[in-house]
Structure 1
Amino acid sequence: MAKEIAFQMMDTHAGGDVSRIVTGGIDPLPGKTVRAQMEYLRDDADGLRRLLLEEPYGIPEMSVDLIVPATDPQAEWGYIIMEVMGYPIYSGSNTICTATALLEAGLIPKREGVQRFKLEAPAGLVQIEARIKNGVVEAITCEGLPSYIHTHRAKINVPTLGEVTYSVAYSGGFYALVDARELGFSLDKSEEKRLARCAYSIVEAIQASRGFSHYTLGDVGPLPFLHFMGPEEKVAEGFYRSRSATYVHPGVICRSTTGTGTSARMALMQYEGRLNPGDRLETVSLRETGFIGTFTGLGKEEGHAVVENTITGKGYVLARSDIVINCNDPMTRCEGLLPILTSSHPE
C-alpha cells in the first residue's frame, strides 16, 4: 500500500474565512451529479475532509473545496464544500474563494471587465460574476440560495442562559438567528470565545428540542448554524449595515459573516418588512471584513416568501502548495482517503 500521498492545493480567504481549494491529485468520484459525488464523500470517503480540517494539516475553522469536473454542460467546473459540520450543499464564502481560485489558477481564463460563468455546487448551478481589473480579481458576486423564514421569534429555555428568542431561516442550511444585544454582546472580537460558548448552548438546545424540514429537500439534518445579529444602520437609501457573527456547530465562530448568514439575515429583514427588492445589506464581521447581500427578487414557494439574492465579496490567494501526506505519521489518518487519491507513490 502506498505510504506517501501528494495532491495540489490553493489556500484562499474571503472575509477572513480560509478555504483550501484542492485542484489536483484526486481520482474521479462516482456519481452522475456533483451532489451525488458529495454524498459519496460524505458516506464512504470522509478522509479528505477530516485530513485537511484536523491536525497536523489544518484547523476546524477552515473549509475545504474540492474542484471536480462539472456534470452539467452549462457549468465550467464543479466544487464540493467540506466544513467541520460536514458537507453543506452551498456556501457563499466558499463559492467566492472557489471562483477566485479557478480564475487565478487559469482553470477559467481571465477576461478584463465583468466576466460571467456558472459553477456546479451540490445545490445546483450557481451564476458567478467576476470583476477583473488589470488582471486582478477585484470582486466576485455569486447567487445566494433562495432563502426563507421557517420559524419567527420562537422561545427556548437554554441551560446557563435562560429563555432565548430565536428565528430560523433556510439559506443553504438552517440558521438560528438571535439578537446579539439581547444576549449581552456588542460583537467585538474580544467576545469571540464567549460567542462560541453561547452559540454552542443554544444550538444544542434547539437540536434537542426539534428538527427542521425544507419544503422541497425535506429533512436536511440537525440545525448546524447560528447567526448573531447586531443593530442595523441605514447607510444610504436602500443600503443597510450591521455587525454580525456566524457560528458553525460544534464550536466555530467564522472569521467572516458568511454568505449564507447574510442571505438568512436578509430573509428575516424582508419577513419583518424592513427590506425591499433592490435593497442591500452589508454584514460586518468581528474582524471588520464584510459581504454585501443584494435582495434581487421575491418569490412564493409552498406558502413561504422566498428571498432571491446575491452575495458580493473579494477572495485572496494565500498559498499554492503540494500537500504531502505520510500515512506512517501517527497524527495522520489515511482511512477513507487512499481510494480517492491518484498521486500516491511508495515511500
Structure 2
Amino acid sequence: MEMEVQSPPHQGGEFSVVDMHTGGEPLRIIVSGYPEVKGDTILSKRRYAREHLDHLRRALMFEPRGHADMYGALIVDSETPKADLAVLFMHNEGYSTMCGHAVIALGRFAVDYKLVKEPQTPETQVNILCPCGLVQAFVEYSDGKTGRVRFLSVPAFVFAEDVPVEVEGFGELTVDISYGGAFYAFIDAQRFGLDVTKSRTRDLVDAATAVTKAVKSQVKLYHPCSEDLAFLYGTILTDGKEEYSPEPTANMCVFAEAQVDRSPTGSGVTARVALQYHKGLIQMNQTRTFQSGATGSQFTGKAVQSHRTSKTDREEQTLLFI
C-alpha cells in the first residue's frame, strides 16, 4: 500500500536529515531547516553556531531524537569555490574541527544526492571544507552507484611525545599527543590493565576520560594555524601494537563528553599514523590497518607526504582508506 504522508499542524521548526553510518559510527546529516549560520569563514561559522544555535544541536543530537553517542554534520555555505560542500561537525559536547568517519559518509552523500553534478568513473573527487581545512574525499563510482571512500586529510603532526600527566586514580602516566585534524592523547590500554577489544566499555571510558581531563588541565596545546583548533578532542586507548605489522592494530577513541566512537576514528587514525611515522615505526606509503575496539570495523591509513615547518618539528600529511 502506498500513501502520501504530510506533516500535521505543528509548532516549531522542521528539519530534513539523512542518517548514515561509517563502520558502525552514526552520522546525522542535516540537509535543511537550520537558520542561517553567519560568518565569513568556516571557523567563524563554528563559533556562531556554538554561541547562537546550540539549542538546535542539543535537539538533534540528544534524546528523544538522538542519543548520547549521536554525531551530526551540518552543511553550510563555503567561503572557497574549491569546496563542493562545507560542513560543521557536532556531537554530545559541542563542535568538532574534523571527523574522518563523517567525511567518508559525506563523500557518498555528496555523490548520491547530486551535490557533485558530474560524477566520474572509477572515482569521483569530493572537496569538503571542514573547520580544520579542505579535505579531499575520493568516492568509488560505477554504473550510477557509489562504493568505497578514501580521503586525503589536512596535514597531521605530533605535538609531543611521552608527556607526563597526573591522572586521577592512576597516578603519573605518560601520553603522546598528536593531531589529525583534531588533537588526541594516545596511551596503551594495558597501562590500566585493560584490553581495548575485550574489557568492559565502561572501564575503557573511565580510563580514557581520566586521561582527557588530566591533559586538558595540565598541558597547553598549540596549533600553528588557529587557536580555535588548539584543544584536546579526546583520548585514544591502543593495544600497544605501534610497530608495523600486516595484522590489524586496535584502538578505542573516547571523545567529547565520554562519547565512544564505534569506528576506528578517521581523524584519530590520521593522528596515529603521524605518530607511528614520526617514531619510525612505519614508512612512507606503508599501509596499516586499524580496527575499532568497539565494533571490529576497520580503516586503513598511510602517510603520503612529509615536510618540515617552522612551527613544528615535522608535519606528515596522511591518507586514510576504508
**TM-score, length basis structure 1:** 0.83
1:247 aligned to which of 230, 254, 268: 254
The alpha-carbon distance between structure 1 residues 15 and 34, as it changes in their structure 2 partners (threshold 3 A), is same
The answer to whether 1:13 aligns with 2:21 is yes
Letter in 2 for 1:15: G
The alpha carbon displacement at 1:222 in A equals 4.2
Q: 1:169 matched to which residue of 2?
A: 178
Instruction: Identify the structure with the greater strand proportion.
Output: 1
- Structure-2 separation of matches of 1:138 and 1:289: 16
The alpha-carbon distance between structure 1 residues 202 and 11, as it changes in their structure 2 partners (threshold 3 A), is same
Letter in 1 for 2:66: G
1:206 aligned to which of 209, 215, 225: 215
Letter in 1 for 2:261: C
Runs of 4+ aligned residues of structure 1 deviating over 4 Å after TM superposition are 232-236
The alpha-carbon distance between structure 1 residues 68 and 272, as it changes in their structure 2 partners (threshold 3 A), is same
Q: 2:68 matched to which residue of 1?
A: 60
Moved more, 12-21 or 67-76: 67-76
Q: 2:47 matched to which residue of 1?
A: 39
Does the CA-based 8 Å contact 1:200-1:249 persist in structure 2?
no
2:168 aligned to which of 159, 162, 168: 159
The alpha carbon displacement at 1:19 in A equals 0.6
Does the CA-based 8 Å contact 1:169-1:175 persist in structure 2?
yes
1:1-347 alignment runs, 5 A limit: 3-109=11-117, 110-188=119-197, 190-218=199-227, 220=229, 222-230=231-239, 231-232=241-242, 234-236=244-246, 241-286=248-293, 287-301=295-309, 302-313=311-322
The alpha-carbon distance between structure 1 residues 233 and 138, as it changes in their structure 2 partners (threshold 3 A), is farther
Corresponding residue pairs, total: 309
- Structure-1 separation of matches of 2:215 and 2:53: 29
Larger relative CO (CA 8 A, sep 6+): 1 or 2?
1
The alpha carbon displacement at 1:28 in A equals 3.2
Letter in 2 for 1:126: V
Unmatched segments (≥5 aa) in structure 2: 1-9
- Structure-2 separation of matches of 1:107 and 1:195: 39
In the TM superposition, what whole-angstrom CA distance separates every residue of 1:208-261 from its partner, at most 9, and x where no partner exists? 22321112323645423111111247554xxx6311111103211211111111
- Structure-2 separation of matches of 1:132 and 1:176: 36
Does the CA-based 8 Å contact 2:244-2:281 persist in structure 1?
no
Does the CA-based 8 Å contact 1:85-1:250 persist in structure 2?
yes
The alpha carbon displacement at 1:108 in A equals 2.5
- Structure-1 separation of matches of 2:242 and 2:158: 19
Moved more, 41-50 or 219-228: 219-228
Letter in 2 for 1:256: S
Moved more, 44-53 or 192-201: 44-53
- Structure-1 separation of matches of 2:102 and 2:278: 26
- Structure-1 separation of matches of 2:305 and 2:49: 34
Q: 2:6 matched to which residue of 1?
A: none
- Structure-2 separation of matches of 1:235 and 1:179: 17
Does the CA-based 8 Å contact 1:141-1:310 persist in structure 2?
yes
SS in 2 for 1:307: strand
Does the CA-based 8 Å contact 1:232-1:241 persist in structure 2?
no
Q: 1:324 matched to which residue of 2?
A: none
The alpha carbon displacement at 1:291 in A equals 1.2
**TM-score, length basis structure 2:** 0.89
- Structure-2 separation of matches of 1:88 and 1:304: 25
- Structure-1 separation of matches of 2:40 and 2:216: 32
Moved more, 208-217 or 108-117: 108-117
The alpha carbon displacement at 1:42 in A equals 1.3
